[in-house]
């Protein structure tokens, strides 16, 4: 092939003229057989496609010779109706599931209630002695306990149980066959005294079985009050006590109220005894000042004369030690001092065997 511009021969397979650089456009040779084959395939494809009548969009024509089926088109209003039916079906299914779950829960709750009721019914009160007697006797009567089934109880056992019920319903005067006694009686005293509470039976062979509660502010005792265990040292000055007995049946007796006033005519007063103790501790360096300050602490120590005790032929003012942090309540440290009320001797006090005091001279 020669270049149409300069006539230079162009080698086969080259797209540009080697002489002038002209770009050669190659045109494939026309193939008549290939053209016929393409036309035949196009006709076959066209024959297999459904024809739609554009004039009437609601009708669809089908070619009986077609190899495929035409899927009918869905109009917009029909599509909305289908979506509504699907949504309604789903909501209906959800409601049904909710009703089923609620029903199962109600059934479970009812079953639990029945089981609990039956358990309570089985554990309901049946007199123990009556049941034991029923097991050992053939003579029986029918006793109805509310809505429960009738239990078979012997006549003799029923009579015994009625006797027990009568005993349980006796008056409080008969119930309290114990007498609570507290000594000494109310009054003014000038010697150390111990307050004691005892219980005695009004009938022969009746022993005490209960708890004695008391208060030291005159208020009525109850189960939350202090429990009396040992004799109480009468406090110096005025004091107000109240005692009450709780028997083994859970009944509280009448309250016993007592008012005391204790003083002692010795060589010094309780206030002088406290001052003597504090002065000795300052002298020894245990305290910095009368306010009770100590080195390296913001807290203070305090001392108070609360009771008067007799040991042998001597009388002592008892002075326990307390420690108080700023803004907190004072708490006892366990240390106790004592001052002889007659000769003003100073002692440290410890608890010995049996709770007795042991006095050591504090020089």
Distance CA 135, CA 124 (A): 18
> So what's the pLDDT on residue 319?
95
Distance CA 161, CA 157 (A): 6
Interval 71-123: pLDDT, tens: 555 555 555 566 666 666 666 667 777 777 777 888 877 777 666 556 554 44
> So what's the pLDDT on residue 290?
94
Interval 223-270: pLDDT, tens: 999 999 999 999 999 999 999 998 878 888 899 999 999 999 999 999
Those residues whose C-beta lies under 8 Å from the C-beta of residue 59, and which sit 6 or more positions away, are 53
* Closest among 265, 108, 239 to 184, alpha carbons compared: 239
Using CA atoms, how far residue 194 sits from 148, 191, 218, 348, in Å, is 58, 10, 17, 22
The answer to whether residues 237 and 299 touch, using CB atoms and an 8 Å cutoff, is no
Average pLDDT across the chain, whole number: 74
Q: Is 257 exposed, middle or buried (0-12, 13-18, 19+ CB in 10 A)?
A: middle
Instruction: Name the more confident of 89 and 346.
Output: 346
Looking at the chain, the whole-number percentage of residues with pLDDT higher than 70 is: 61
Distance CA 232, CA 192 (A): 11
> So what's the pLDDT on residue 212?
94
Tokens of 248: 């083994």
Tokens of 189: 């005293």
Q: Are strands 187-189 and 256-262 parallel, antiparallel or unpaired?
A: parallel
DSSP state, 150?
P
Distance CA 131, CA 126 (A): 7
Looking at the chain, the whole-number percentage of residues with pLDDT higher than 90 is: 37
* Closest among 236, 237, 290, 270 to 339, alpha carbons compared: 270
- Mean pLDDT across the stretch 312-316? 91
Those residues whose C-beta lies under 8 Å from the C-beta of residue 186, and which sit 6 or more positions away, are 257, 258, 259, 260
Report pTM.
0.49
> So what's the pLDDT on residue 47?
56
Q: Mean pLDDT: which of 25-39, 49-63, 323-337 is highest?
A: 323-337
169, pLDDT greater than 50:
no
**What is the tally of helices (H) and strands (E) in the chain?**
6, 16
> So what's the pLDDT on residue 166?
42
44, pLDDT greater than 80:
no
> So what's the pLDDT on residue 89?
65
Instruction: Name the more confident of 165 and 258.
Output: 258
Q: Which of 23-32, 147-156, 324-333 has the lowest mean pLDDT?
A: 147-156
Distance CA 332, CA 28 (A): 120
69, pLDDT greater than 90:
no
- Mean pLDDT across the stretch 127-137? 45
Interval 262-293: pLDDT, tens: 999 999 999 999 999 999 999 999 999 999 99
Q: Mean pLDDT: which of 3-7, 226-230, 357-361 is highest?
A: 226-230
Those residues whose C-beta lies under 8 Å from the C-beta of residue 341, and which sit 6 or more positions away, are 264, 266, 267, 268, 273, 308, 315, 316, 317
The answer to whether residues 273 and 201 touch, using CB atoms and an 8 Å cutoff, is no
Band of the pLDDT at 340, cuts 50, 70, 90?
very high
Interval 191-205: pLDDT, tens: 999 999 988 765 555
Provide the 10 A C-beta neighbour count for residue 310: 13
> So what's the pLDDT on residue 46?
54
45, pLDDT greater than 60:
no
Instruction: Name the more confident of 265 and 161.
Output: 265
Instruction: Name the more confident of 322 and 29.
Output: 322
How far out from the chain centre does Cα 114 lie? 28
């Amino acid at each position: 092939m020669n270049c149409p511009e300069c006539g230079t021969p162009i080698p086969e397979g080259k797209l540009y003229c080697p002489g002038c650089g002209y770009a050669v456009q190659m045109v494939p040779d026309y193939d008549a057989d290939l053209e016929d084959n393409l036309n035949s395939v196009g006709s076959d494809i066209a024959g297999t496609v459904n024809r739609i009548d554009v004039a009437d969009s609601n009708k669809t024509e089908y070619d009986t010779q077609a190899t495929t089926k035409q899927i009918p088109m869905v109009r917009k209003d029909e599509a909305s109706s289908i979506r509504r039916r699907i949504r309604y079906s789903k909501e209906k299914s959800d409601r049904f599931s909710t009703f089923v779950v609620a029903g199962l829960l109600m059934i479970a709750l009812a079953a639990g209630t029945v089981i609990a009721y039956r358990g309570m019914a089985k554990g309901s009160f049946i007199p123990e002695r009556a049941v034991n007697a029923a097991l050992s006797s053939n003579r029986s009567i029918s006793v109805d306990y509310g809505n429960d089934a009738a239990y078979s109880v012997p006549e003799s056992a029923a009579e015994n149980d009625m006797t027990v019920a009568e005993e349980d319903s006796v008056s409080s005067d008969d119930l309290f066959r114990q007498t609570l006694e507290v000594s000494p009686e109310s009054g003014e005293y000038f010697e150390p005294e111990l307050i004691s509470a005892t219980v005695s039976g009004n009938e022969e062979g009746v022993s005490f079985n209960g708890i004695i509660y008391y208060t030291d502010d005159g208020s009525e005792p109850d189960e939350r009050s202090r429990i009396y265990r040992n004799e109480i040292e009468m406090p110096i000055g005025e004091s107000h006590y109240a005692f009450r007995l709780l028997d083994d049946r859970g009944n509280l007796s009448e309250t016993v109220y007592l008012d005391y006033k204790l003083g002692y005519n010795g060589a010094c007063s309780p206030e002088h005894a406290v001052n003597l103790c504090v002065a000795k501790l300052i002298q020894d360096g245990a305290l910095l000042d009368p306010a009770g300050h100590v080195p390296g602490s913001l807290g203070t120590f305090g001392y108070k004369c609360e009771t008067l005790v007799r040991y042998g032929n001597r009388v002592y003012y008892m002075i326990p030690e307390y420690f108080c942090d700023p803004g907190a309540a004072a708490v006892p440290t366990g240390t106790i001092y004592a001052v002889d009320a007659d000769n003003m001797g100073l002692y440290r006090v410890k608890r010995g065997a049996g709770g007795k005091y042991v006095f050591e001279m504090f020089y």
